[in-house]
Amino acid sequence: MKRLTSLIMTLVAFIYGICEYTDIIDYSRSYKAHVVAVVDGDTITVSTRGAHIKIRLFGVDCPEKLQPYGRAATLLTQKLAYNKEVKITPIQTDRYGRTVAYVSLPGGNRLNYELVSNGLAWWSKQYAPEEMQLAIRELNARLKGRGLWQDEDPTPPWDFRKGVRH
C-alpha cells in the first residue's frame, strides 16, 4: 500500500510538473524579519518594524512536541532560523490570527521545504494541495527513510491532535 501511495504521489507530481506554488504568491508583500522565538517546528515569532508577528509555516505540519520527531523538528527550526534574518512571504492569515507564510532562510532555502526534505514535517495536502515542491520533497524523504519516515507507520499530527494513534 505504501509503495502504491508513493507511486501515486510521483505521478501526481509529474502531471502537475515540478514547480513552485506560484499561483497564490504575491512576492510584493514579502518582508524581512528577525526570528526571535521558535514555538515549535512549524511556528516561529519574528520581529519587524517594532512588532512581533507569529508565523505559521505554509503547507507543512510538523509532529507535535509530544510526538516522536516533534523535538527534532523544533531543533531543526531553531538551528536554521533562530536569531537570523529571514524573508517572510505571507500567503494568508489563519483562524488563530497567525500569518501563514513561506520563510526564506539566509542563503535562499525555504524553511518549509527544509523540514519536509529532512523528514520532520508532512506536506499539508489539505491546505496546500497544489504545492508540488512539498509533495516531491515528502516523497523523497519517505523513499530515503529520513526522519519520521524511519517509522513504519508514523502518526500524522492532525490524527495525533484528535487522539488517533497508529
**What are the residue ranges spanned by the domains of the chain?**
2-162
- CATH (one of 2.40.50.90, 3.40.50.150, 1.10.940.10, 3.30.530.50) for 2-162: 2.40.50.90
Per-residue pLDDT of the chain (166 residues), as tens digits, is 566 665 666 555 555 554 555 555 777 889 999 999 999 999 999 999 999 999 999 999 999 999 999 999 999 999 999 999 999 999 999 999 999 999 999 999 999 999 999 999 999 999 999 999 999 999 999 999 999 999 999 999 999 999 876 6
* Residue 56 annotated in active site: yes
What's the CA gap between 147 and 162, in Å, rounded?
A: 22
Q: What is the pLDDT of residue 4?
A: 64
Provide the β-strand partners of residue 46: 35, 53
Which residue of the set 56, 110, 137, 142 is catalytic?
Answer: 56
Q: Which of 3, 20, 29, 64 is catalytic?
A: 64
Q: Which three cell numbers stand for residue 45?
A: 515569532
Element (H, E) at 113: helix 111-117
- Measured in whole angstroms, how far is the alpha carbon of residue 47 from the centre of its chain? 20
Q: Per the residue annotation, which of 98, 110, 137, 142 is the catalytic one?
A: 98
- Say what the pTM is: 0.85
Residues with Cβ < 8 Å from 15, sequence gap 6 or more?
none
